[in-house]
Amino acid sequence: MAQANTNRFIALITLIAALGGFLFGFDMAVVSGIIEPVKTQYGLSSSQEGLFVSCALLGCIAGVAVSGYLSDKTGRKKVLFIAAFLFLISAAGFAFSTAYGVLIFFRILAGMAVGVASNVSPLYISEIAPAHKRGGLVTFYQLAITIGILCAYLSNLFLQRNAATYTGSGQGLIHWLFIENVWRGMFLVGVLPALTFALLLLIVPESPRWLVQNGQAAAAMAVLTKTAGEKNALIELKAIQEMASQKKGGFAELMRLPLSKLLALAMVLTALSQLSGINGVIFYGPTIMKSAGIVTSDALFYQVILGVANTVFTFFAIMKVDSWGRRPLYLYGSICAAVALALTGFCFWLNITGWLMLGCIILFLLFFALSLGPLKFVISTEIFPTHIRGTALSVCIMTMWVSDWLVNLLFPILRDGLGIAVTFFIFSFFCILSFFYAKSKLMETKGKSLEEIEKMLAQNDCRHATN
């Protein structure tokens, strides 16, 4: 009975924290349905359109830059509240904005919310989760992102079709939001999950590892009793206290050995994951499928197909990451993703269009969802000491956003300059690099507590230093 209560409590707080991932995915994907109507309504030039699409990434970078420091100083829970608040006001503000400059302002705020959530949500889940379930629970954050993307696609599709088939006459706020300016309604829908996230955070405890690091052992013990059970709580508390006795550090500590080696590992794996072209496939999906001879008019419907595939396949990662382990899952997934991307490139090269090409793209999504997608979060949240984990993870997530920016910037240039086939070959090459880099550098961490991983890495560094 006690174990069942513990499992339910862990599941509940993981679901709540993962709402940050849901909002991350929803906010980044919902914009796919509003680019064309906003461009038409405001008469945007190419440069203004580019600023509108990319300004959220500036907000992401700013959000990541401050969230790591704030989460180490003030706690993980408080910073999650900040993310929920930013999601809420940006969704409402964007829906009611009438000037282009104000739209840009609220897109930047939304980007800041995404940046904060992308850093602190997986960090919090990793610190609250039991060792034997941590991989699956952190991967659940990636699943929440894919569900958020899918819900944005479904919401956009529903609202667009409803507005297109509406035959009545009307006026008033609801008509203005969801019929006359349906793109405003697409964004306003985000208020509901954002408000839900903010309210549910009221029942979420602070991370026990952060509490110990900041001298609140009694509060940490209360949380551990709920997450680990009475029998194991004291054992975990002593292990956390032992590792937390280290001197607190900042960014400068990350630049010194042995942490600099771990930071390089996490940053390279994160960058290579995004350079696989996942954002090119997700956000330029309609363009790709038009080139494949699939999409004629209803682009949002085919985005839903990709969103469903991405979501379903992430369930496999949740089931296997704690049984198969991080290293084998990453190795097999990255090399198979490379093959799927190469097959897609050959389809374009040989003019094999239609559903066969869509199948190759979905195959890539399968292997990405099994490995490159979720494991960058799992690995980055496991390998750093508690006292600097928030700062270290913020650097890794910053790497993710910079890599995303490069993919979003270069995809249309590569597609139009070198051809879409060569573009997919380039993405395949980065997956191959991921395989060889992980084979050389990635250690296995499944089933170990965060403190055990910290000791293991410290012992490895000592052995290397004496060799």
Predicted confidence band of residue 464 (pLDDT cuts 50, 70, 90): very low
Q: What is the CATH number of the domain that holds 340?
A: 1.20.1250.20
Q: What pTM was estimated for this model as a whole? A: 0.77
Choose one of 204, 225, 259: the last residue of a domain: 204
Do 78 and 129 contact (CB within 8 A), yes or no?
no
In this structure, of 44-48, 125-129, 377-381, 454-458, the range with the lowest mean pLDDT score is 454-458
How deeply is 281 buried, as exposed, middle or buried, from its count of CB atoms within 10 A (0-12, 13-18, 19+)?
Answer: buried
Please determine, for residue 344, whether its predicted confidence score (pLDDT) is greater than 50.
yes
- 292-338 pLDDT, tens digit each: 665 545 556 766 777 787 788 887 777 777 778 888 888 998 999 99
Q: Which domain holds residue 238?
A: 211-245
Q: Is there a single domain that holds both residue 229 and residue 256?
A: no
Choose one of 204, 220, 237: the last residue of a domain: 204
Q: Is there a single domain that holds both residue 215 and residue 291?
A: no
Q: What is the predicted pLDDT for the residue at 465?
A: 39
Cα separation, 95 vs 103, in Å, equals: 9
Distance of alpha carbon 120 from the chain centroid: 11
Q: Is there a single domain that holds both residue 215 and residue 110?
A: no
Q: Is there a single domain that holds both residue 272 and residue 335?
A: yes
Q: Is there a single domain that holds both residue 264 and residue 199?
A: no
Distance of alpha carbon 77 from the chain centroid: 18
Q: Is there a single domain that holds both residue 226 and residue 293?
A: no
Instruction: Provide the mean pLDDT of the chain.
Output: 81
- Residue range 67-89: average pLDDT? 90
Q: Is there a single domain that holds both residue 317 and residue 449?
A: yes
Cβ-proximal residues to 248 (8 Å cutoff; 6+ apart), any chain: 213, 387, 388
Q: Is there a single domain that holds both residue 388 and residue 410?
A: yes
Cβ-proximal residues to 416 (8 Å cutoff; 6+ apart), any chain: none
Q: Is there a single domain that holds both residue 100 and residue 126?
A: yes
Exposed e or buried b per residue across 365-384, where buried means at least 16 C-beta atoms within 10 angstroms of its C-beta: bbbbbbbbbbbbbbbbbbbb
Q: Is there a single domain that holds both residue 19 and residue 33?
A: yes
Q: How many domains, in total, are found in the chain?
A: 3
Q: Is there a single domain that holds both residue 219 and residue 266?
A: no
> How does DSSP classify residue 177?
I
Please determine, for residue 22, whether its predicted confidence score (pLDDT) is greater than 90.
yes
- Residue range 422-426: average pLDDT? 91
Please confirm whether the linkage preceding 122 is cis (ω < 30° from 0). Answer: no
Q: What is the predicted pLDDT for the residue at 285?
A: 61
Q: Is there a single domain that holds both residue 376 and residue 462?
A: yes
Choose one of 204, 230, 262: the last residue of a domain: 204
- Residue range 113-128: average pLDDT? 87
